[in-house]
Amino acid sequence: MHQVKTAIDLLIGEIGILKSFSNQIIAPKFLELGCLPGAKITLINVAPFRSTYFFKINKSRFALRKAEAENLILEL
């Protein structure tokens, strides 16, 4: 079992706290959206086939693809 929990491991309605990013190239894109370590991430819904995830990150809402959301490493 992997020890890392990412945003896609959240259950619908569950809240996680962002710890870090696993991909250095995508990190600045998240940062400029105000998605900083310590941010409160709530999973609101998942699109059919678990391809797209709908999160509330702090006060804003974002649609992220699975490959994008996987980069958000959460506090255990």
Partner 1 sequence: MASKSIINVALVGNPNSGKTSVFNRFTGLNHKVGNFPGVTVDKKIGSISINQHLKAKIIDLPGTYSLYPNSLDEKVVLDILMNKKGEFYPDVVVYVADASNLERHFLLLTQIMDLGIPVILAINMIDLALGEGIHCDEQELQKILDIPMFTINGRTGEGIEDIIKHLPNLEEQDHPPVLDTTKQVENLINELKGELGFDNNYHTLLVAHHYNDLSELTTTDRGLVKQLTEKYQFSSIRNQVDETLQRFDKINTFLTKTVNLIPNKKGSTTDKIDKILTHKIYGSLIYVSILLFMFQAIFAWAEYPMDLIDHGVNALNHFLKGVLPDHFLTSLLTDGIITGLGGIIIFIPQITILFGLIAILEEVGYMSRAVMLSDNVMRKFGLNGRSIVSLISGVACAIPAIMSTRTIGNWKERLITIFVTPFISCSARIPVFTVLIAFAVPKTYYLGIFNLQGLVMMGLYILGALAALISAYILKIILKSKETSYLMMEMPIYQVPYWKNVVITVFEKVKIFVFEAGKIIMIVSIILWALASYGPGDEIQLAEKTVIENNKGTKISEQELEDLIAAKKIEVSYAGHFGKMIEPAIKPLGFDWKMGIALITSFAAREVFVSTMATIYSVGSSDDEKTIIEKMRHEKNPETGQPVYTMAVSLSLLIFYVFAMQCMSTLAVVKRETNSWLIPLYQLIYMTGLAYIGSLIVYNIFK
Minimum separation from the CB atom of position 1 to partner 1 (A):
27
Give yes or no for a contact between 19 and 75, defined as CB atoms under 8 angstroms apart. Answer: yes
Extract the tokens encoding 30. 């998240």
Q: Which is nearer to partner 1, 65 or 75 (CB)?
A: 65
On the CB side of 67, CA atoms within 13 Å amount to 2
Which residues would be at the binding site for partner 1 (CB under 8 A)? 24-25, 27-34, 36, 44-49, 51-52, 54, 56, 58-65, 68
Cβ nearer to partner 1, comparing 1 with 25: 25
The Cα–Cα gap between 59 and 76 comes to: 22
Q: Could you tell me the smallest distance in angstroms from the CB atom of residue 47 to partner 1?
A: 6
